[in-house]
Structure formats: structure tokens, C-alpha cells
Structure 1
Amino acid sequence: MSAKEKAPMAAVGSYESILPFKAIGLDVVVLTGENEGEIGHILNKFARSGYAVLFLEEELFVKYRAAVDEVNEHNDISVMPVPNQKGSIGAGLDAIRRNVERAVGMDIFGEK
């Protein structure tokens, strides 16, 4: 990828949660009860398509943690949790803590 090209970013979640991402030009996938079960396929599609960052609604990030970890481990995409309109449930800080611990071999943030 040349310096002038930018890797695309996307957001996945409920309509209310990802609407702001659509407003700033990110690619979005609205999840509903009917297509929520396809989350693994959706994550892999973005990863294989060269996306750099995928913002995933926190509740989905927690619920589908195994699929998120699989995609993060085997691809160059970063799946990042974002809070929904109800507020944060702490998944973002937990994800940062786990990634830093994996990178440096210890929890540098101290006690949980």
C-alpha cells in the first residue's frame, strides 16, 4: 500500500451505535437479530478485504469474544470495542489490558 493510500475502516453494531461512523464515511454493517449470527463471517470479510480497523459495539465484542480474538490473532485488522448509547461496560479497557499483557508478558496496569 502506498503512502497516499489509506486502509479502510468499518463499524459493526446496532443502527444507533454505528450511525455516527457512517456519518464520517466509514463502511458500516448494521446487525439485527436476523444477521447477528453471521458475526464471524462479517469480521473475516473485513479482515480479508484489507481493513485496518473495525469498530465493534462493546456488547457484541464481549458476546463474540472468541471470534474477535481469532480474527485479531490471524489478521492485520484491529477489532476495537466501542460503547453504545447506553454507555461503556469496560470492554475497551479490558481489551487494551489483555493486548498489552500479551505484548510485554505482564500486566503493567496493576491490579484489576
Structure 2
Amino acid sequence: MAHKIGVIGAKDSVMPFKLFGFEVVYAVESNQVRKTIESMAKHNFGVIFITEEASELSIETIDRYKSDVTPAIILIPSHNGTKGIGLKEIQDNVERAVGQNIL
């Protein structure tokens, strides 16, 4: 069974992902973001892209999935630009895997 790809965030930031056939959910409130992540995880999503702004609304939920292989939750910048949260997550993961920050 193939995994699906989902995108969560404000409409202006995530609408373009529909062009690639990703399932897009507009969520800008904490409860919406949390419920969407839980639903996507339960329904065979392999990757969930979430804007940095939306990720700040559901940190605890995202943290629960960090050690799982799927879904991989990837933080992306919004249309307003980056906050550096996604890059920090990548650096932390590389450091955990390699033993030092090589980025």
C-alpha cells in the first residue's frame, strides 16, 4: 500500500501543494492542527509537511511522532518566510544520527 503525502498550514502557504496532488488541510488553530496530524497518522500518510507556524500550535503532538518512521513530519516555511525551526530540526536529527553537527 502506498503512503500518502499531506500538508498542513495556512491557506496561502499550503494551497500550491495541491498542484502536486498532495492532500492539503488548512489549519490555523491548535485543535485543528492536532486533529489533522492524528488523522493523517492514522490514515497511512508517510510524510506530513507542516508549516513552522502551524507546528508551533501542536508541539506535543509532533514530538510524539519524532521517533516513529511514519509519518515523517517535516517542517516547512510559510509564505511569510522561515522562522528557522525546520532547519534546527534537521540539524538536530543529523547531529543525533552522526554524533556531531556537520551542517
TM-score (structure 1 length as normaliser): 0.78
For residue 53 of structure 1, the aligned residue among 43, 47, 53 is: 47
Structure 1 position 90, deviation (Å): 1.0
Segments of structure 1 that go 5 or more residues without pairing to the other structure are none
> Aligned AA for 1:88?
T
Rg (Cα) greater in structure:
1
Higher normalized strand content (fraction of residues) = 2
Structure 1 position 43, deviation (Å): 0.9
The answer as to whether partners of 1:43 and 1:71 remain within 8 angstroms in 2 is no
Give me the whole-angstrom Cα distance separating, in 1, the residues matched to 2:88 and 2:23: 26
The answer as to whether partners of 1:14 and 1:32 remain within 8 angstroms in 2 is yes
Tell me the C-alpha RMSD between the 2 structures. 1.8
Report sequence identity in percent.
Answer: 28
> Aligned AA for 2:100?
M
Give me the whole-angstrom Cα distance separating, in 2, the residues matched to 1:91 and 1:32: 17
Segments of structure 2 that go 5 or more residues without pairing to the other structure are none
Give me the whole-angstrom Cα distance separating, in 1, the residues matched to 2:39 and 2:72: 13
Structure 1 position 44, deviation (Å): 1.7
